[in-house]
Structure 1
C-alpha cells in the first residue's frame, strides 16, 4: 500500500469518526457551560451538555435516531485502586453481587427481566479505575433498565445476605483459579505489578483480588464498601440512542432522583512511578515455551505521550509487516508471537512487550532481538509509511468501535471519567492525527529507556506451577 493510499485511508477513517462524533444532549438540574469545540479536519463538533441531578448523579445523553434502541451505561467511579488494605478484590466482587438482586428485584431475576424485552449487551466489568454496568434495550423499554439500575444503586443492601455474599465470593475465587492460578503464565502479571509499584500503590494488586482478602472479608465489610462508594454522586449515567431527551430526563429523575447522595472519601494521588535502573524477574513455569516481558511505567491516559506510545505499539507489533513481528516471527523465526501495547490508566500507564518463543529458542534470544529493534526506533525514528499505517489502524479501530451504540455510550463515559469532558472525541482524534515521526521517536527515547525497565524471563520447568513461580526475587 502506498503512502498516498494510507493517507487517504486515514482521512476516510477520520471522516467516519467525525460523523459519529456529533453527540447531542440536554440538561435537567444544572448544565455545563457551552465551550468552543475544537475543529478536526475542518469539521466543528457540538459540545455535550452534562446534567447533574440534585443528588449528584451525572447524566449524559447522546441522541441517535438511526436505530430504535437505547443503551444505558453506568460508571461507578470506584475500582480496585480504591480498595483499602486487606480488601483487595472488593470492587470486582461487587460487579458480581450487583447482578444477584436488590430490594425490588428477586435473586437472579435481573437477566431474566432484560431477556424478556429483547435486551442485548448486558454485562458489567471492573478495572483499577472504575466499575461499569450496561444494557441495550428497544427504545420503548427504556424504563426497565433505568428501574433496575436505580434499584441496585439505592436498595442493593436490602437484598444482600450471607448466602449471596458467600456464593459470589466463591464465584470470584473460581474465576481467579481459572484465569490466573491455573492459566499458563497466569501470575506473571502479578509478579510484574508487585515489582513495578511500591507497597501501598493503588495499582500494585490485581483487580481480581486475592483469596486471602476475600476469605477474610465479612458481610459487614462488604456492605461498608458499598455504602462508601456506590452512591449517585460517585456515578455517571450515560443514555445513548433513539431517545426523546425531555421524556428520558423525566424518567431519570423519577428513578434516580430520590436516592440520597453519599460522602465520598478523599483520594490520594500517588507520585508517578519512576524506575532508576533495570530490574530482572526470573520466573519458572510448567509451560512448554519460554516467554519474555518488557515493562515500562508510562504517562497516564490522555496525558502527553500516551497517544504517541499507542502508535509506537502499533508500529512494533500490529500486523505481519510490523517491526517486531517481521524480525522475531518471520525473519529470525525465534518467536511464535509478539505483542506490544500501551495499557493506559488514570494514575499512570504501562508499556509492555511480550514475546513467546518458538520451540528450541530462549527468552534471551528474543530479548536481544527486541532490544535491537528498540534501539533502531530510538535512533532512527519511524518512516512516513509506518506512521500512516499506525494512524489508519488506530483511527479505523476507533471508528468501528463507535459504530455500535453500546460502545459509544461506554466511550462517552470513559472520556467523562478520564478527562472530565464527555465530548473529548475530537481531541482524542487530534492527538493521533497530529502525531509526527519525531514525536514517536522522542516518546520511545523518553519513556522506553533500555536501562530503566522491568525484564521478566519465563523459563519452562517441569513440576513448576503452570501460572509461574518467582525464583530468586528481583535483581
Structure 2
C-alpha cells in the first residue's frame, strides 16, 4: 500500500472465480476473504434463513475435512476464522501466518467443491438447532434484539427481498428438507459467484498456482447469476410509519429509519458524513444536545445500512434516560435532523467530520483483514475492487451543501419509520394507572 492506494491484481479463472491479490510484506501474515454473491435477498418465500444456515453448515466438514476440522486446523496454526451473512452476500475469512496460506486455500476450495458430500440429515438438524439457539439468544431474549428484523420489515414492502432479515423464519427452517438445502447450495456456492481476495505477505505467482490447482477444477454454475427482477423502490415511504414494542428492555428506546439511496450513490456518502456531524463522538450535535446538555438520552446513534437492491436504510436510535418524556426526546432528535436538512454544516463541522472519517478509513485499511474484505466487497457489489481506492477521496470531496441536500431528501416526515421500545414493567404500570 503506497499512500492511500492499495495495489492489487484482479483476474478470473476459467470457471469464473475472481481472484484479487494484494501484497504486503510488513508482517508474515496473510488474510483470505471469500465473498459469495448470495445473501438473504436470494431466498424465496417459504425458504428463508438458508444463507445464514450455510454460514454454520460450511464449518461442518466437506469431502476431505471432518466435522469442525476446518476450525481446528486454522487454530492449530495460530490463525483466526469466521463467517458472516448479510442481505446482499455471505463471506468467509481467515488470517494465518503466511506460510500456512496453502492450507487455507485448500480448506476453502474443499468446502466450495465438495461440501454436499458431507452434508447429512444429522448435520442439517444439528445446525438448524444452532440457528434456533442463536435466534433465541441474539434476537428474542436480548433487549432490543428484534430491531433489525422490525426495521427491515417496516422499511421494505412484503414482496421485496430485503423485507426479511438474515436469520429468517424458524418455521421455514423447520420445514426445510435436505434436498431444499442442497439445491440452495448448488445454485449459489459456485466459483462464478465468488470473489477470493488474498492480502498479505505472499508471492502472487505461488498464490495463482495454488488457487488454480485447488479451485480450478470446481465447475461453474451456468445458471448464474440469479435474476431477482426489478428491485427499485420509490425514494420515500410515502407516509410516516410507527410501531411500538413492549418488551423486557431496561429503558425506553426510539429507533428511526429512513429510505435512503443505494450503496455507492454519492448521496449515501453525504449521509455518512452527516452521521459524523450528528453522532460522531462527544462533540457531535446529537450527543451535545441530547446526552450532555438536555440529558434526555443515555446514548444516540445514526448510521446507514448500505444495500444495492433498490434502496438502503439510514437508521438511528436514542435510549431515553429514566423518567424522560419520550415525546420530548423524539422531538429533540428530529429537530437536529431537520436543522441539518435546512442549514449546511459549518466549515469546522465539515472538517471535523472528514477528519473522523479519514481516521476511521485509514485505521481500517492498515489491517490486512480489512483490505481483503474491502477488495472482495467492491468486486462483488460493484464489479470493481478498485473502488477501495476511491471511497476516501469521495468522502473528502463532499460539500456542506451536498450534506444538507441529502438530509433534506431523506430526513422527511413522509419517509420516517419510528420504532419505539417500552419496558414491559413501565407499560403495565401506565396501563394500570390509566384504569
| Shorter-chain TM band | over 0.9
- Consecutive aligned runs of 4 or more in structure 1 exceeding 6 Å deviation: none
Deviation at 1:172, TM superposition (A): 0.7
2:34 to 58, 71, 74: 74
Whether the 8 Å CA contact 1:95–1:131 is kept in 2: the answer is: yes
> Deviations 1:140-192 (Å, cap 9, x if unpaired)?
22110111000000000000101111111111110011011001122233223
Match for residue 103 of structure 2? Answer: 144
2:144 aligned counterpart, secondary structure? coil
Give me the TM-score of the superposition, normalised by structure 1. Answer: 0.86
User: Residue 76 of structure 2: which of 100, 113, 116 is its match?
Assistant: 116
Residue matched to 1:6: none
Contact 2:88/2:308 (<8 A) preserved: yes
Cα displacement string for residues 106-147 of structure 1 (whole angstroms, at most 9, x for unaligned residues): 111111111222223x11111011111111222222110111
Q: Output one character per residue of 1:298-354: Cα deviation in whole Å (capped at 9) or x when no partner.
A: 011111201100000111111111111111111111111111112211222111120
Structure 2 residue 263 is the aligned partner of structure 1 residue 301: yes
Distance in 2 (CA, whole Å) between partners of 1:190 and 1:437 is 33
Counterpart position of 1:9: none
Partner of 1:35: none
Distance 1:98 1:167 in 2: 13
Assess, with a 3 A threshold, how the Cα gap between structure 1 residues 18 and 380 changes in structure 2: closer, same or farther: farther
Partner of 1:47: none
In the TM superposition, residue 18 of structure 1 has moved relative to its aligned partner by 5.7
Shift of 1:419: 1.9
Q: Does 1:226 align with 2:180?
A: no
| CA–CA distance in structure 2, aligned partners of residues 112 and 250 of structure 1 | 25
Q: Secondary structure at the match of 1:373?
A: helix
| Correspondence for 1:458 among 412, 415, 421 | 421
Flag structure 2 segments of 5+ consecutive residues without an equivalent: 429-435
SS of structure 1 residue aligned to 2:414:
coil
- In 2: Cα distance, 1:451 partner to 1:189 partner: 21
Tell me the TM-score normalised to structure 2 length.
0.94
Residue in structure 2 matched with residue 22 of structure 1 by the alignment:
6
Please tell me whether residue 126 in structure 1 is matched to residue 110 in structure 2: no
Q: Which residue in 2 is equivalent to 1:241?
A: 200
Shift of 1:246: 1.4
1:179 to 2:138 alignment: yes
- Which residue of 246, 257, 271 corresponds with 2:232? 271
Over 3 Å counting, the alpha-carbon distance change for 1:147 and 1:20 in structure 2 is: farther
Aligned equivalents of 1:143, 1:191: Cα separation in 2: 43
Task: Give the CA deviation at 1:269.
Answer: 3.4
Q: Which residue of 2 aligns with 1:470?
A: none
CA–CA distance in structure 1, aligned partners of residues 105 and 363 of structure 2: 27
Residue 457 of structure 1 deviates from its aligned partner by: 2.3
Asked whether the 8 Å contact 1:70–1:241 carries over to 2, the reply is yes
CA contact (8 A) 2:249 2:421 kept: no
The SS at the match of 1:142 is helix
Three-state SS of the structure 2 residue aligned to 1:296 is: strand
Q: SS of 1:114's equivalent?
A: helix
Task: Report how far residue 227 of structure 1 moved.
Answer: 0.5
Kept in 1: contact 2:194–2:380 (CA 8 A): no
Matched, 1:282 2:234: no
Residue 415 in structure 1 maps to residue 399 in structure 2? no
RMSD: 1.6
Structure 1 residue 463: deviation in Å?
9.5
Q: Per residue, is there more helix in 1 or in 2?
A: 2
Q: Does 1:191 align with 2:154?
A: no
Asked whether the equivalents of residues 416 and 422 of structure 1 are also in contact (C-alpha less than 8 Å), the reply is yes
SS in 2 for 1:209: coil
Q: Does 1:344 align with 2:303?
A: no
Residue 374 of structure 1 deviates from its aligned partner by: 1.9
Question: Would the alpha carbon gap of residues 332 and 79 (structure 1) be closer, same or farther in structure 2, given more than 3 Å must change?
Answer: same
Question: 1:191 & 1:51 partners in 2: Cα distance?
Answer: 40
Superposed displacement of residue 20, structure 1: 4.9
Corresponding residue for residue 58 of structure 1: 18
Number of residues of Structure 1 aligned to a counterpart in Structure 2: 424
What is the Cα deviation at residue 372 of structure 1? 1.6
Distance 1:136 1:251 in 2: 17
Distance 1:189 1:74, change over 3 A: closer
CA distance in 2 between counterparts of 1:458 and 1:54 reads: 52
Q: Distance in 2 between matches of 1:289 and 1:70?
A: 44
The aligned counterpart of 2:431 is: none
C-alpha distance in structure 1 between counterparts of 2:426 and 2:172, whole Å: 27
